[in-house]
A and B are shown apart, each in its own frame.
Chain A
Amino acid sequence: MSLGAGLQQGIEVAFTWQNVAASAAGVTIGTTFGIFPGFGPTTLIAILLGFTVGLPPDTGIIMLVGIYFGTQYGDSISAILMRAPSEPNAVMLALDGHEIARRGRPGPALAVAAMGSFVGSLVGLVGLGLAAPSLGHVATYLSTADYTAIAVFGIVALTVVSPGVRWRNLTAMLLGVAFATVGLDPVAGIDRFTFGNLQLAQGIPVAPVAIGVFGLAEVLAIAAGSTRRERLRSIPFRDIWPNRAEVKEALPASARGAAIGFPLGVPPGPTLAVATYASHALERARSRRRHGDDRPAIAAVAGPKAADEAAVAGHLVTMIALGLAFSPVTAMLLAGLELHGIQPGPLFISEHASLFWGIVISILIGSVILLVINVPLIGVWVQLLRTPTPELLAGLTVFMLTGAYAIRNSTFDMWIVVVMGVIGYVMRRYRFPAALLVIGLVLGSVLEVNLRQAMATSRGDITTFVQHPVSATLLGLSVLLVVTAPLWNLAGRWRAARTAARQGN
């Protein structure tokens, strides 16, 4: 199907009144909750997943996409106004964005972030529309050995490149992989680790685990910390808009950010934060060259925001084409798709063409709604930050548990949320990346099924993994990552020593 025909099909799906309303509702709900510090896109998609359960698949997924955009923007608000980003990719917004807000222009900083988000989404959706069908086509030729290698590479890359201590990353990831082995064995069909529990025989589903690890754990972490929140001044409507010079600076920065973000988002790994970091570094360097000093730059708000959105679209390419998630956000979106009975993968675009193109167009609708409705309402979102924390946390706890129940009408899923919430909270408290547990859960079953099938097909010949070019390359890259990891440590120590020496001078 050509891009034009696909887009036309997408417009037909996405532009029904139900789907536009679902997108608007998603964006608004997402922004409403996303402004609260601590509640980033991943957490909120986890909490609000239950809202989409009763809806038709296309409407539910379009609402999820809307929720994602809304929470992204809500996170920008808390990053820029309060310097309290909820996810790593919003950290860069908090640097220059908060400084500009402190200097009396919070409205334009927020508006420019929305503009960056719009440009990033636009570039991202074009990239998604072009790249996902091609990658999906290529993916139909991948063998089980290739999928094994993709899963191995994802696990290794996320363990080595993710921030934090690598042993802890690996522990978290393997916990997730171990959880993936619970339930009916996918090949032999016997119960494993179920201890006679019939509900465990179906396996541990991703959605309740993610709701617990991202949602409930976040609520517990916020409850454990200070519940005092600063009172922000309202932003009048007339003070929202950026001036011409700011727009002139922000638009090209958004385009540059999007151009950096999309290709960085496609490969497996924690590339969202890397994309925003790269864009921020570029814009800061440009600003320094132009002004000769370190003043905060509006371009360093627009660029990283655009890079972030475009990188997420890049992540979506991999998720849709391969059916694999390599980031917490895509793990949640994958859980959302599975919740509606849709399994992404190489055949997804050919089997669900209208839904795929509907998602592509809904990205556009979501970002337009964000720009047209949410930006003028910045003052209203700021007022919402006055909601008292105890009631907010209590309400969210009930909402997310009910949402988990809604998935399969199962109290067992609610218990999974509670247990995983506690595990996730303990992991966060002791700096184990709980997000890797969820990704391990997603990749674990893919790895086991494909590994066993590849071994069976090759009659036990282990060299099958190096005979296919894709698997050989990915396994080679995995080995390279593991081998070079100690060198990165040495480089980091050398940089730290050099910085310390410079400061000493």
Chain B
Amino acid sequence: MTDPRRPTPDAAGSTTPPPGAAGPGAGTNGDESPGAPGEAGEDARAVTTRRGPLPGARGWVVVHGSAVFAMVVALASVGYFAEALHYQRGTSAQPGPGLFPQIVAVAMFVAAVGTVVTTWRTPPPAATEGGDEDHHPFRPVAVVVGAVLFVSTIHPIGFFFAAALALIVVEVGMGVRNPFRVALYSLLLAFVAQLLFVDVLGLTFFSKVHFLSLAPFAPGALP
């Protein structure tokens, strides 16, 4: 018997999961809201089912990831509450700037603890949580590194070079190994982005580097 949540090959030979699998009516487990449509963006790309829990520390983090995240939120809410104590609470007739954050902090702590408890009580969803075979943990890191590089270098080295650098980092991190392809696409995309944002929309940066930009030659910029 086939698992209804497993991807099924269709006529075009593609393997995409059944969207209804986690769609309407899917959430009937414990605290999940029943009958409401599922998060399609996430669930429609639901990953291949894997039998049994993941091994070792990574498995523990994947299975209990939401509890770990909730614990971080609980800790953050304690810090947030401590900071909120520095602001006046005021009176009921004149609530001060500290009152609302303190209420939010307490509610956030309760919600986070509730999440931890329900996660531990619910059977581990190791079979589908997070993605297995297709999961590439270092690719998102490459995208974040590329983004950080772009933001931190945009002013010192100019838009074109910062964009090209970020594009190269992301493409290589995403597994593109052909240097010609990386160079071609990076320079092309950086040029298009510069053309659109700097030359057409008129964005300005602190950098004096205007490599391949038409901005310094714009009528207003000419001496």
Contact = CB atoms under 8 A, between A and B. Distances in A.
Interface of A: 37-38, 40, 50-51, 53-54, 79, 82-92, 94-95, 98, 102, 160-168, 170-171, 174-175, 177-178, 181, 185, 187-188, 190, 192-193, 216, 218-221, 223-227, 230, 232-233, 270, 273-274, 276-277, 388-391, 393-395, 397-399, 401-402, 405-406, 409, 411, 414-415, 417-418, 421-422, 425-433, 444, 447-448, 451-452, 455-456, 459-460, 462, 485, 488-489, 491-493, 495-496
Interface in B18-43: 18-20, 23-24, 26-42
B73 interface: yes
Contact of B33 (A161, A221, A415, A496): A161
Given A397-B150, A398-B167, A401-B147, 4 more contacts: A91-B38, A163-B32, A394-B186, A493-B30
B92 A163 contact: no
A37 B42 CA distance: 11
A394 B97 contact: no
B130 to A, nearest CB: 6
* Chain A binding surface SS class: helix
A85 B40 contact: yes
A87 B147 contact: no
A267 B185 CA distance: 46
B146 A394 contact: yes
A434 to B, nearest CB: 10
Contact of B108 (A178, A426, A459, A493): A178
A163 B108 contact: no
A426 B144 CA distance: 13
- Counting chain A CB atoms within 10 Å of each CB, the highest count among B33, B92, B185 belongs to B33
Nearest to A458: B93
A102 B66 contact: no
Contacts of A87: 40-41
24 contacts: A54-B200, A83-B10, A83-B16, A87-B41, A163-B37, A167-B111, A178-B77, A185-B87, A193-B80, A218-B41, A223-B142, A224-B137, A224-B139, A225-B136, A230-B16, A233-B12, A388-B176, A397-B166, A402-B159, A406-B203, A414-B154, A429-B65, A430-B68, A455-B95
A430 to B, nearest CB: 4
Chain A to chain B: the 4 pairs with minimum beta-carbon distance, closest first: A492-B34, A460-B93, A460-B92, A390-B174
Nearest to A272: B37
B80 A390 contact: no
- Counting chain A CB atoms within 10 Å of each CB, the highest count among B29, B36, B193 belongs to B36
A91 B69 contact: no
A432 B72 CA distance: 13
B16 A431 contact: no
A390 B171 contact: yes
- Counting chain A CB atoms within 10 Å of each CB, the highest count among B14, B135, B154 belongs to B14
A40 B41 contact: yes
- Counting chain A CB atoms within 10 Å of each CB, the highest count among B18, B40, B84 belongs to B40
B34 A495 contact: yes
A167 B100 contact: no
Interface string B199-215: 01111100000000000
B85 to A, nearest CB: 12
B134 interface: yes
